[in-house]
Amino acid sequence: MSRFLSKQFKQLTMYEAGEQLGDRYLKLNANESPYPPSPLIKEVISSSHINQLKRYGDISYQALHEALANQVNLAVENVVLGAGADDVLDLIFRTYFQPGDTLLLPNITYPFYETYANSYGYQVAEMLVDDQLQIELSPYIESDEPCVIVNPNAPSGHFHPVSEIERVVQSNPDRLVIVDEAYIDFGGESVAPLVKKYDNLIVVQTFSKSRNLAGARIGYALAAPSLTEDLKKVRGTINPFYLSELQVLTALASLSDDAYFKQSTSQIMTTRDHFSHQLQAAGFYVLPSLTNFVLVKPRHISANDLYEGLKAQHILVRYYTKPVINDYVRISIGLDHDMTRLFDMMLTLDQENHTSVLASMDRKLA
């Protein structure tokens, strides 16, 4: 750390992403799609498009705004683009909050929100999840502070119906409600239509999960025109060329292939439900999920030991040391044969640990 670093950044903790250990590992730790992006993307990125990279693009991104608006059944004026959902969230935080402001967050959720808050000098009021890792929305309704609701939440997978989110938005029209819907396409119902009704709601979505484009970094916000005007003004002042031509072409191609999008998301949901039922039948505790992952509590082995045991077998899942969720592992949904391999290894490790514990108890009793 140099002596020039701004004081506001000295206490920050870097985000810990899922481990990247190479192709020898089955990677089920980052909630990436197991399926490739739409094949149309390869078709549209031709040599003529590559040649255009020598020029600056159209900073209005009109074609992508129109395609997205059509996809979500909103007006162009309701859409703001960004280089991934994280970039959009960062833009929202910088646009609407000031040092000293308080932001409501669940205590178990995506850690970037707290990182943003700390980096910009905001205070965080944590809303505690219950013993099922569910978020009770009453404290949000009772508070006047701006809030972030992750729906479905990560890493729990807990989902709130639209009616519950609307109650929070209605409770105080003078505070901002941000709803992060990164996983909404895996069985949940979006609150995006509500932006036509409320001017204190911002919905954030991404191409990373359901459109199989985590590496492309494309996200967007949906909100009332008064809010999108604010966001576009700040964006256009600080960084008007925030999307590359390749990102724009990739996004447009993905949006044009709705059949592929529906097919891949449907397959992930089918695999998720089958895998969850398998685990439950074997005695594992699995939280309900409308995402592309499941949160699982092992039977006879600690979550950390299961994580380490799977890693030794070249299978990566996600383990959290944070209390409340340190009894669980988070497992991204892969291809069917990958999940079969994982399930078999989980059973083996769990049973081996159980047998070892029983043998140890027998020795103590002898």
DSSP output for 151-190: SS-TTT-----HHHHHHHHHH-TTS-EEEE-TTGGGT---
Contact of 33 with 212, CB cutoff 8 Å? yes
- CATH topology (fold) of 7-32+259-363: Aspartate Aminotransferase, domain 1 (3.90.1150)
Contact of 261 with 101, CB cutoff 8 Å? no
pTM of the model: 0.92
Q: What is the pLDDT of residue 47?
A: 62
Give the closest residue to 301 by CA, choosing from 352, 363, 344: 352
The domains of the chain are located at 7-32+259-363, 39-257
| 354 class by beta-carbon count within 10 Å (0-12 exposed, 13-18 middle, 19+ buried) | middle
Contact of 31 with 293, CB cutoff 8 Å? yes
Phi–psi pair at 241, nearest 5 degrees: -100, 65
Q: What is the pLDDT of residue 118?
A: 85
C-beta neighbour count of 99 within 10 angstroms: 9
Phi–psi pair at 27, nearest 5 degrees: -100, 100
For residue 31, what are the contacts with CB-CB under 8 A and spacing of at least 6?
Answer: 18, 154, 183, 209, 291, 292, 293, 330, 332
332 beta partners: 293
Contact of 355 with 329, CB cutoff 8 Å? no
Question: Rounded to an integer, what distance in angstroms lies between the CA atom of residue 195 and that of residue 258?
Answer: 23
Question: Rounded to an integer, what distance in angstroms lies between the CA atom of residue 321 and that of residue 271?
Answer: 27
Q: What is the pLDDT of residue 358?
A: 45
150 beta partners: 180
C-beta neighbour count of 4 within 10 angstroms: 5
Q: What is the pLDDT of residue 363?
A: 53
For residue 39, what are the contacts with CB-CB under 8 A and spacing of at least 6?
Answer: 257, 260
- Quick: pLDDT tens for 125-156: 999 899 889 999 999 999 999 999 999 999 99
CA-to-CA dists, residue 222 to 50, 60, 152, 157, 342, angstroms: 30, 16, 17, 22, 37
Torsion, Cα 185 31 293 149, to 10 degrees, reads -60
Q: Which CATH architecture has domain 39-257?
A: 3-Layer(aba) Sandwich (3.40)
pLDDT tens digits, the chain, 366 residues: what are they? 776 677 777 777 766 666 666 678 999 999 999 999 999 998 887 765 777 788 888 889 999 999 999 999 999 999 999 999 999 999 999 999 999 999 999 999 998 898 888 888 899 999 989 988 999 999 999 999 999 999 999 999 999 999 999 999 999 999 999 999 999 999 999 999 999 999 999 999 999 999 999 999 999 999 999 999 999 999 999 899 999 999 999 999 999 999 999 999 999 999 999 999 999 999 999 999 999 999 999 999 999 999 999 999 999 999 999 999 999 999 999 999 999 999 999 999 998 875 654 455 455 555
